[in-house]
Amino acid sequence: MSVFAVYDRLHAAALGEGCRLFTVTVSNAAGTTAARAYTSHPVDYPVSGTKPMTRDAWYDHVIVGLNSFVANTPAEFEKQFFDHALITSLGLGSCLNIPIIAQGAVLGTVNILAEAQHFGPEKLTAYHAMTRAEQDGLVLAMQAF
């Protein structure tokens, strides 16, 4: 079994909670670029090259602060995501970015999007639990990417 099968398992679990778009991004060691390692929407969000990581409020919260980012409306994420128009055109209005941390550093993020107001306390608990359950596999896959 491939080390990257963890992405399929986590995606399947997230679908069970109502996830509508699922991606995984992997950061380089310097935290200056990110690459999409997995996607549920290859046409809209293909697995491809890298993109620069902007040092902004999202970066400070997730990469520096080691915290999940939650936005339950487009207004809450439009300043952080250059692709907010594409996100909303897909009928998505909320997002959750969960950092995957090893040895005190963020290796990448699990990104879950759904309709607006999706990420209430129960959903957040469920998504964080399923991600924690796959932590070791996620670390291995991100390090192998």
Could you report the per-residue pLDDT of 16-74, keeping only the tens digit for each?
A: 999 999 999 999 988 889 999 999 999 999 997 778 898 999 999 999 999 999 999 99
Write down the pLDDT at residue 31. 81
pTM for the predicted model, two decimal places: 0.96
pLDDT band, residue 95 (cuts 50/70/90): very high
Which residue segments constitute the domains of the chain, with CATH numbers given? 5-42+53-144 (3.30.450.40)
Strand stretches in the chain, DSSP E = 21-27, 33-39, 50-52, 69-71, 94-102, 105-114
